[in-house]
Amino acid sequence: MENLILAIETSCDETAASVIKNGTEILSNVVASQIESQKRFGGVVPEIASRHHVEQITIVIEEALEKANIEPSDLNAVAVTEGPGLVGALLVGINAAKAFAFSHGLPIIGVHHIAGHIYASSLVEPMQFPLLALVVSGGHTELVYMKEHGSFEVIGETRDDAAGEAYDKVARVLNMPYPGGPHIDRLAHEAEKGVEFPRAWLEENSYDFSFSGLKSAVINYKHNMEQRGEEIVPEEVAKGFQDSVVEVLTTKTVKAAKELNVKQVIVAGGVSANRGLRESLSEALAKEGIPFVAPPLHLCTDNAAMIGACAAYMYEAGVRGDLSMNGLPGKELKSWARS
Ligand code: KG4
Ligand code: ZN
């Protein structure tokens, strides 16, 4: 495979652009985060996210090209996240990609955000099929089976909150700033023991997830303690919460990996930055002799390199978008492979 792709990602609160060579080599990976400004509101405010993207997008694209030391005429295609995500945020990236593609006579490729998260792993190690990807982020919790490049089968997903959403909400209950995941992770490691919280296994044989009950259990625990005039120990609450999330994610992932006889398990998305989850998955999969890939943290949270990696394979398969491309907030993860 030989191609050079400029990729753009603006689906949530990171304005990102990257140049990717042959789907595996990162020539540049620029991310302008809005976390500092969204912190004040305890979450992402869509209108503010869009405005930030508008301010940053041109600078970020120019920086990505400059750092990669390439000219637009060297490129084979422009790739951009088409969805899912915040529609106003997506549109900023899509319009920038369209303008760039049109003015330089390049094809445009619309990438699914979750496919992008999965393909972050190909920047680390070649993908081995069939594989299973656990995608855990602020907006998603999915187990995806891939029998080859471009083939996606969602075998399990959350029925309510995404794992990252639960982390962020519980962090709020514990008075910690947004995004809460890293804070809970840190606190959890400071506790000796955790508060006992329930595990949502759902029906036997289901690979679906549910985190809203656990979130309510944490809130109820805090209220009960307050009513009794007792202080909660945030570290113990964090550990109890994290243990529950990690145990369910690990158990279901390992079970599916064995049942589907996969050659590789990939973890992706912002929550895969979680130390507890990484350790637990890597230990459990090692026991089963199943190879495990956890990309470095900066490729786990939202970035454009992963979009470029995914687009490289789409480009090879002949997938092209056109200038009628629109932001698709609820875009489904569809296969592009023909078989
Ligand atoms: O993939 P991502 O950057 O954006 C989305 O597409 O949603 O994921 C962001 C989510 C946030 O909910 C954040 O709290 C969570 O990832 N996160 C973590 C950790 N680092 C980030 N959750 C648990 N532990 C972490 N260390
Ligand atoms: Zn994401």
Cα separation, 248 vs 267, in Å, equals: 14
Question: Phi/psi of residue 166, each to 5°?
Answer: -65, -45
Q: What is the mean pLDDT of residues 79-85?
A: 96
| Of 311, 225, 277, 333, residue with least CA distance to 1 | 311
Which amino acid is it at 48?
I
**Average pLDDT of the segment spanning 64-85:** 97
Residues with C-beta less than 6 Å from any ligand 1 atom: 12, 137-139, 164, 167-168, 179-182, 185, 269-271, 273-274, 301-302
Across 85-106, average pLDDT: 97
- Percentage above 90 pLDDT, the chain: 89
Report the separation in Å between the CA atom of 306 and the middle of ligand 2, taken as the mean of its atom positions.
10
| Mean pLDDT calculated for residue range 73-84 | 97
Instruction: Confirm if 222 and 236 have CB atoms less than 8 A apart.
Output: no
Average pLDDT over residues 34-45: 75
Q: Which of 135, 158, 269 is nearest to 210 (CA)?
A: 158
Contacts of 189 (CB under 8 A, 6+ apart): 239, 275, 276
pTM for the model: 0.94
Atom of ligand 1 nearest to the CA of 171: 14
Residue 172 in tokens = 């709020």
What is the average pLDDT score of the chain?
Answer: 95
Residue 292 phi, psi (nearest 5): -130, 130
Which residue CA neighbors atom 7 of ligand 1 most closely?
138
Decide if pLDDT at 321 tops 90.
Answer: yes
- CA angle at residue 273 from 185 to 11, to 5 degrees? 115
Q: What mean pLDDT is predicted for residues 258-277?
A: 96
- Ligand 2 is an ion; residues with CB less than 5 A from it: 137, 302
Structural domains of the chain, with CATH = 4-118+299-316 (3.30.420.40), 127-294 (3.30.420.40)
Write the CA distances from 144 to 52, 88, 128, 248, 265, integer angstroms: 32, 27, 14, 16, 10
> H/E element holding 336?
none
Give the atom of ligand 1 at the shortest distance from the alpha carbon of 165. Answer: 12
pLDDT at 339 over 70: no
